[in-house]
Amino acid sequence: MSNEEKSGFKHWVPAFVLMVCVVLAFFDKISIAVLFADPHFQGAMGIAEDKAKLGWLMTSFLLAYGFSSVFLSFLGDIFNPKKMLFWSVASWGVLMFCMGFTTHYEGMLVLRVLLGLAEGPLFALAYTIVKQTYTDRQQARASTMFLLGTPIGAFLGFPITAAVLAKHDWHTTFFVMAGLTVIALIAIVFGLRNLQLKKTIELDSTSKRVNFKGHIQNTKILLQNSSFWLVCIFNIALMTYLWGLNSWVPSYLIQDKGFNLKEFGIYSSFPFIAMLIGEVIGAFLSDKLGRRAVQVFGGLLVAGIFMYVMVLMTEPHLVIAAMSLSAMAWGFGVAAVFALLARVTTADVGATAGGIFNGLGNFASAIAPVLIGYIVMQTNSFNLGITFLAAVAVIGSFFLVPLLKRY
């Protein structure tokens, strides 16, 4: 394993390959949200306008994804991470291909759960590959590269799915996603071919052995840390915003704000470009100013306020402008959330803290798509569903108020 300082274009190819995988994963995750507004898809699934059932197609994925992320990521420590990544991505393609042929709601639900399980370990695998490929001074840049796959995946995924749906039908959207998987697999085979990666358990097997009793003691201290729990509760609101936005905004803009599929395809990428810009500016300012809690609190608060402004707007350009400012603020805040987590916890329980923080955020926020669908069905008002999302963001941000002075 050559981990000495290297640079040059070739050296960054593995990080780029990981970014391609994350972009594809996000395509697969969110492309179904565009279909929520498609009457042919609703008819084929036999659910007509049942928004709670539509919500479950996203929620079931997120619950399986959260479970897999917490409980199956260890597989990347036991097996070679490069092989694990290849077979994991290959399984997404097979599942997307199967979805294209599915005409039963129950079958689609099962496939979404399997997709969540298959995608869960991706970030853990990506971190493992980055750690073995890059030096300490390069790991932040390499990690940021693949993390940017999330907003890039969203800003490309929605318009591509909308374009395919406008020209063809809902089946084809899944076949296109399955086809894109082949490109990712070729990138993995050629882009990572020179990497000599080991199973994590083969690395430093003696020095890494943590005294179990000591770890239990450290974990007890972590669980009594009120600042840690405040950041965890805040993260639930942060993730609820993201999954609510990704699940329902296509349907909301088309059904409530009068956008057609072509307009939606053109405008849908703006908020995610804004989110990307917010993340880049936020990352830079976070390291420069060091006021992590203030930045993260302000980001979600402003995101919630502009989300509500979007509800009040009727003119399409103003709707997109409000939504973009909201997404940018969210990106600005989220850029510092892991740095804040590191500030309120100690390094010796970093992995445990990260696991609880991530798992709790994903599990609790996974219910957002169903909850919004249920609110819309009960009240016949999409505006109330989106207002709920704005309220969660604003209220959630205030959980950080006790930390503003200190961190």
380-402 tens-digit pLDDT: 888 898 999 999 999 999 998 99
Question: Which helix (H) or strand (E) is 57 found in, with range?
Answer: helix 51-71
| CA distance linking residue 279 with residue 274, whole number of Å | 9
Cα gap 125→113, rounded to integer Å:
20
pLDDT at 290: 72
Whole-number average pLDDT of the chain: 83
Q: Is the pLDDT of residue 200 over 70?
A: no
Q: State whether residue 315 is helix, strand or coil.
A: coil
Read off the pLDDT band of 2 (50, 70, 90).
very low
User: If pLDDT is split at 50, 70 and 90, which confidence band does 45 have?
Assistant: confident
pLDDT digits (tens, 9 = 90+) for 270-281: 888 898 889 888
pLDDT value at residue 76: 63
Task: Indicate the CATH number for domain 210-407.
Answer: 1.20.1250.20
Query: Which has more confidence, 355 or 230?
Result: 230
User: pLDDT, tens digit, for every residue of 214-235?
Assistant: 667 767 777 788 888 999 899 9
Tokens of 144: 């940021």
For position 282, what pLDDT does the model report? 86
Lowest mean pLDDT among 94-103, 238-247, 358-367: 358-367
Residue 393: per-residue pLDDT: 95
Decide if 10-209 and 210-407 have a common fold. Answer: yes
Element holding 154 (H helix, E strand): helix 149-167
Average pLDDT over residues 26-49: 83
pTM for the whole structure:
0.77
Class of the CATH-defined domain 10-209: mainly alpha
Percent of the chain whose predicted confidence (pLDDT) is above 70: 88
Instruction: Please compute the mean of the pLDDT values over residues 76-103 and round it to a whole number.
Output: 86
d(CA 328, CA 31): 21
DSSP labels for 326-394?
Answer: HHHHHHHHHTTHHHHHHHHS-GGGHHHHHHHHHHHHHHHHTTHHHHHHHHHHHHS-HHHHHHHHHHHHH
Q: Between these two residues, 319 and 338, which has the higher pLDDT value?
A: 319
- Split at pLDDT 50, 70, 90, the class of 3 is very low
Give the Cβ contact number of residue 271 at 10 Å.
27
Domains of the chain, residue spans? 10-209, 210-407
* Tens of pLDDT, residues 64-82: 888 887 777 667 667 777 8
| Residue 211: strand, helix, or coil | coil
User: Residue type for 147, please?
Assistant: L
In degrees, to the nearest 5, what angle opens at C-alpha 326 toward C-alphas 268 and 164?
A: 10
pLDDT of 6 reads 59
157, amino acid identity = G
